[in-house]
């Protein structure tokens, strides 16, 4: 059994001499037939029925729905008629044991207040008093603008609702390597020519002699020990070339910095000698 929104319509203006009759709101629709009362022998467990009503965002949404359904002018709301329809909806929700939000009851009190103020006669000296409906009309107009803006935004295309991303993957393929455009015989001829040119040149393999700075420092110390003064030029082996001269010179500098040997020169432009530090002249 499913409940649908009952058709809450205001009563048509009664003809003269006739009294308006209040139509009873059906409890539900069963296979299209309105059910005015539940059968006496029908047992319904608590919270066993799911009643689906028209969803409203709040009391202003409900009022706007009632106004638009009757094509009423929002600037000239018939408060008595709208209040009656609004209260019918509230009473229906109470009968169905639906939890009413407090704001619905607040709006019902506001409508009742506006209705009572409009029924009271206005004093002659307060003709310019503001219409009791003005604040309600302003709130309805503002709510209508926001609701329309929300509908416009919702109508825009939305990802995963109106548009969906497509993902395609390239199937794994096998690369086909084409043979070279050069004939194999031409490649072999080029190889033979390269080998012939290589035979015309003699290759020389030069190995780099390893010169250790630590070993050269030990050799210099060994030469100056017990020899007294050793001429500076006698410490270099010319057969080692430039590399040997540089390594020997660096070894001398390291020994001088480490206070192991001294370089002496009796007078300007005289020969330079090396001696072990601590050796008497």
Q: All domains of the chain, ordered by start, with CATH?
A: 28-121+130-155 (no CATH), 213-276 (1.10.10.580)
Give the burial string for 48-70 (b: 16+ CB within 10 Å, else e): eeebeeeeeeebbbbbbbbbeee
Q: Name the maximum alpha-carbon separation found in the chain.
A: 154
Q: What is the reported pLDDT for 94?
A: 74
Q: What is the reported pLDDT for 4?
A: 42
- Copy the structure tokens of residue 233: 């030029």
263: CB partners within 8 A, 6+ apart: 232, 252, 256, 272, 273, 274
Q: What is the reported pLDDT for 101?
A: 67
Q: What is the reported pLDDT for 14?
A: 46
Q: Write down the H helix ranges in the chain.
A: 59-69, 79-95, 102-119, 134-155, 184-199, 213-224, 241-257
Q: What is the CA radius of gyration of the chain?
A: 56
Residue 256 CA to chain centroid, in angstroms? 68
Q: pLDDT tens digits, the chain, 281 residues: what are they?
A: 344 444 444 444 444 444 445 566 777 777 778 878 777 776 666 555 554 455 677 888 888 888 888 888 888 888 888 888 888 888 877 776 666 668 888 888 888 888 888 877 766 665 566 778 888 888 889 988 998 998 899 888 888 888 888 888 877 777 777 666 666 677 777 777 777 777 777 766 776 667 788 888 998 888 888 777 888 888 888 777 788 888 888 888 898 888 888 888 888 778 888 888 876 65
Q: What is the reported pLDDT for 21?
A: 52
For 201, counting Cβ atoms within 10 Å of its Cβ (0-12 exposed, 13-18 middle, 19+ buried), the class is exposed
pTM score: 0.37
- Copy the structure tokens of residue 270: 């005289």
Q: At what angle do helices 241-257 and 213-224 cross, to 10 degrees?
A: 70
Q: What is the reported pLDDT for 55?
A: 66
Q: Are residues 35 and 28 in contact, defined by beta-carbon separation less than 8 angstroms?
A: yes
Q: Any idea which residue has 């700075």 for tokens?
A: 213
Report the alpha-carbon angle 276-249-231, nearest 5.
50
């Amino acid at each position: 059994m499913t409940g649908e929104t009952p058709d809450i319509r205001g009563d048509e203006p009664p003809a003269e001499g006739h009294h308006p009759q209040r139509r009873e709101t059906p409890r539900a629709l069963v296979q299209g037939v309105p059910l005015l009362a539940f059968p006496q022998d029908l047992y319904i467990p608590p919270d066993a029925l799911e009643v689906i009503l028209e969803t409203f965002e709040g009391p202003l949404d409900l009022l706007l729905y009632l106004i638009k359904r009757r094509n009423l002018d929002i600037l000239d709301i018939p408060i008595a008629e709208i209040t009656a329809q609004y209260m019918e909806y509230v009473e229906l929700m109470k009968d169905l044991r639906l939890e009413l939000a407090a704001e619905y009851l607040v709006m019902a009190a506001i409508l009742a207040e506006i209705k009572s103020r409009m029924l009271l006669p206005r004093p002659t000296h307060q003709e310019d008093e503001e219409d009791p409906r003005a604040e309600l009309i302003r709130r309805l107009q503002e709510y209508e603008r926001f609701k329309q803006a929300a509908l416009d935004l919702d109508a825009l295309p939305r990802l995963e609702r109106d548009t969906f991303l497509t993902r395609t993957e390239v199937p794994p393929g096998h690369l086909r390597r084409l043979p070279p455009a050069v004939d194999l015989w031409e490649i072999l001829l080029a190889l033979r020519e390269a080998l012939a040119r290589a035979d015309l040149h003699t290759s020389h393999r030069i190995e780099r002699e390893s010169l250790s700075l630590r070993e050269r420092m030990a050799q210099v110390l060994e030469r100056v020990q017990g020899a007294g003064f050793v001429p500076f030029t006698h410490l270099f082996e010319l057969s080692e070339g430039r590399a040997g001269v540089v390594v020997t010179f660096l070894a001398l500098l390291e020994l001088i910095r480490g206070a192991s040997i001294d370089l002496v020169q009796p007078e300007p432009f005289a020969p330079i000698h090396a001696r072990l530090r601590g050796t008497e002249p």
